[in-house]
Amino acid sequence: MYFLLTHGCVDQYTTSLAFVDTKLSTAGRMLDPYTGIVKRDDRDLTPVWQEGGVFYTAPGGAARVIEPDILVRTYRKTDGSLIDLAKIPEGRPESVK
């Protein structure tokens, strides 16, 4: 992003440098430290579970409800594959408040 900013371009998603530093890792050719091919990494994992057909995630450690269609559209398993709602475990993990 630094390269783009210094050459008059802007990121339409307004990604902050703090987000890049804490959530992304290099995954290919980089033009500078903030411009290139990147990926979300394991620092950005959150547990997912269901209770009585209601799905939850816990970003930052606090549980919140997530709609099933949003869950499968915006989240992936750690290997990058799609989430199968039928395989999401029942019951809150012990690590979640």
pTM metric for this prediction: 0.59
Distance (Å, whole) CA 97 – CA 27: 33
Q: Quick one: 37 and 50 in the same domain?
A: no
Q: Quick one: 49 and 82 in the same domain?
A: yes
Number of domains making up the chain: 2
Give the pLDDT band (50/70/90) at residue 95.
confident
pLDDT digits (tens, 9 = 90+) for 42-86: 666 789 999 999 999 998 778 999 999 999 988 888 777 889 999
- The pLDDT assigned to 79 comes to 76
pLDDT over 80 at 97, yes or no: no
Q: Is residue 54 a part of any domain in this protein?
A: yes
Query: 10 Å Cβ neighbour count for 78?
Result: 8
Structural domain span for residue 63:
45-87
pLDDT digits (tens, 9 = 90+) for 1-16: 566 667 766 655 567 7
